[in-house]
Amino acid sequence: MTMTEITRKQPLRVAVIGAGFMARAHSHAWRTAPRFFDLSREPQLAVLVSRDAERGRQAAHTWGWESWSDDWAAVIDRADIDVVDICTPGDTHAEIAIAALRAGKHVLCEKPLANDPADAADMVAAAELAERRGIIAMCGYSYRRTPALALARRLIDEGALGTIRHVRAQYLQDWLSDADAPHTWRLDRAAAGSGALGDIGAHSIDTAQWLTGDRIDGVSAHLRTFVSSRPRRSAEVGLGGTGDLDGARVPVDVDDAAAFIAGFAGGALGVFEATRMALGRRNANRIEINGDRGAIAFDFERMNELEFYSEDDAPDRRGFRRIQATDPTHPYASAWWPTGHGLGYEHTFIHQVVDFVGSLDGVGASPSFAEALQVQRVLAAVEESAADEGRYTRVR
Ligand code: SOE
């Protein structure tokens, strides 16, 4: 009988801050990424941080973390931590990320980067200083890591769409359609910065700018709040919370829906919509881009598929074709299952970990904090425009 010891790679010790839905997705990703991808370092789930003792202990146990803490500042000071992964509401991002970068930790921070451009700019300054010491900072716009969208990016980079004229992006959810759906921190301006706009519209803005390689430089926007107060819950886990209702209602001070047209610096025209009240649409993160040579269309509710139209096809067979982005030639796909077997939401976070660890080898983390700051500036311009009845507003 022979027995050989498995040689392990250099560990990458991770601390996740948060114990909600996102921390759960990230925990799974840190654990799974090295099981399917050949990473240069071996992520280790060192410590989960949560203010809530019971929830933190439980989450750390269930998701496979070595330990739990209620003190993020102490965790950041620990010499054995390499990465700080921030999965808390937006109002806490700047303080934690800046402290972590100063302490020499690599940072992965959930989107949107912050609740306003000023905090985001401070985070960019800290990231740029840290980068000189080989420390990386990345923002978690996870949809970039959907294979079908990464394929769209490849097609656009190759010139298959030609000059981009139209960007049509909608992010439609319906989990807040019911006026009695409970209040959550995602409806609290102090914690979340904005409503559907920053929560899901930010994804569309990032995706659109990343796919086109262009930036939005002006917007004309409208925001709506359809339900002005919601039942209070004693605790919150996942979307909408799980704690008991106590009969009180909490005011909603963010948008339920956002709609805006956008001018791109390169001349393309964009139309954006973000809502968590589009009844029947569960997580329809959609984008369609038309150029003068071709077009792509994508809907996350069919996340394994990309529609592609090309003027290069013979005239008698032109039309959108439906590509299943599950072939080994497609981005990320060769690490997974046989062609056609499909991936899910969680895979985008696994790919995010793969790219994050990859960027430690000097590839350059993207979306960088600077890219995420540009998204923040668009969000701010949308709010400014909406406050002025849709006046066309420059992104500054
Ligand atoms: C809630 O609307 C939410 O969880 C967003 O916060 C995420 O960014 C998105 O991926 C799914 O929906």
For 143-394, CATH gives 3.30.360.10
Q: Identify the bridge partners of residue 220 per DSSP, sorted by sequence position.
A: 261
Which tokens is 107 given? 């940072």
Over residues 294-299, mean pLDDT: 99
Residue from 177, 200, 255, 345 whose mutation best tests the ligand 1 pocket (most atoms within 8 A of CB): 200
| Cα pseudo-dihedral 382, 306, 24, 11, rounded to 10 | -110
Q: What percent of the chain has pLDDT over 70?
A: 98
Q: Rounded CA gap, 67 and 45, in Å?
A: 9
User: Does any ligand 1 atom lie closer than 6 A to the CB of residue 200?
Assistant: yes
pLDDT digits (tens, 9 = 90+) for 319-329: 999 999 999 99
Kindly list the domain boundaries of the chain, sorted by start residue: 3-142, 143-394
Identical fold, 3-142 and 143-394: no
> Which residue CA neighbors atom 4 of ligand 1 most closely?
239
Q: Rounded CA gap, 66 and 50, in Å?
A: 14
Q: Identify the bridge partners of residue 285 per DSSP, sorted by sequence position.
A: 171
Q: Rounded CA gap, 117 and 383, in Å?
A: 12
pLDDT digits (tens, 9 = 90+) for 170-181: 999 999 999 999
User: Does any ligand 1 atom lie closer than 6 A to the CB of residue 146?
Assistant: no
According to DSSP, the β-strands at 245-251 and 321-324 are unpaired
State the pLDDT at residue 241: 58
Which tokens is 302 given? 């069919």
Report CA(178)–ligand 1 centroid distance (Å): 17
Q: Rounded CA gap, 237 and 246, in Å?
A: 16
Residue from 171, 187, 199, 237 whose mutation best tests the ligand 1 pocket (most atoms within 8 A of CB): 199
pLDDT digits (tens, 9 = 90+) for 328-386: 999 999 999 999 999 999 999 999 999 999 999 876 799 999 999 999 999 999 999 99
CA distances in angstroms from 80 to 39, 54, 76, listed in the order given? 20, 24, 9
State the pLDDT at residue 233: 86
- Nearest atom of ligand 1 to the alpha carbon of 110: 8
pLDDT digits (tens, 9 = 90+) for 12-65: 999 999 999 999 999 999 999 999 999 999 999 999 999 999 999 999 999 999
CATH topology of domain 3-142: Rossmann fold (3.40.50)
User: Does any ligand 1 atom lie closer than 6 A to the CB of residue 98?
Assistant: no
State the pLDDT at residue 239: 59
Q: Rounded CA gap, 21 and 239, in Å?
A: 7
State the pLDDT at residue 262: 99
State the pLDDT at residue 168: 98
Per DSSP, the residues of 369-385 read HHHHHHHHHHHHHHHHH
State the pLDDT at residue 5: 86
Quick one: pLDDT band at residue 1, thresholds 50, 70, 90?
confident
User: Does any ligand 1 atom lie closer than 6 A to the CB of residue 199?
Assistant: yes
Q: Rounded CA gap, 227 and 349, in Å?
A: 32
CA distances in angstroms from 197 to 50, 92, 164, 186, 204, listed in the order given? 26, 18, 24, 11, 9
Q: Rounded CA gap, 356 and 363, in Å?
A: 9
pLDDT of residue 263 exceeding 60, the answer is: yes
Quick one: pLDDT band at residue 234, thresholds 50, 70, 90?
confident
- Give the chain's mean pLDDT: 96
User: Does any ligand 1 atom lie closer than 6 A to the CB of residue 343?
Assistant: no
pLDDT of residue 316 exceeding 70, the answer is: yes
Over residues 103-110, mean pLDDT: 98
Which tokens is 190 given? 């102090």
> Which residue CA neighbors atom 1 of ligand 1 most closely?
199
Which tokens is 391 given? 């006046």
Residue among 15, 31, 42 nearest 99 (CA): 15
Q: Rounded CA gap, 222 and 79, in Å?
A: 48
| b (16+ CB within 10 A) / e for 137-153 | bbbbbbbbbbbbbbbbb
pLDDT digits (tens, 9 = 90+) for 275-292: 999 999 999 999 999 999
Helical H segments across the chain, by residue range: 21-36, 53-63, 72-76, 93-102, 117-131, 147-157, 189-192, 196, 202-212, 345-358, 369-387
Q: Rounded CA gap, 189 and 254, in Å?
A: 6
Neighbours of 51 (CB within 10 A): 13
State the pLDDT at residue 364: 79
**Selected residue with higher pLDDT from 122 and 3:** 122
Q: What percent of the chain has pLDDT over 90?
A: 93
pLDDT digits (tens, 9 = 90+) for 136-192: 999 999 999 999 999 999 999 999 999 999 999 999 999 999 999 999 999 999 999
- Nearest atom of ligand 1 to the alpha carbon of 175: 2
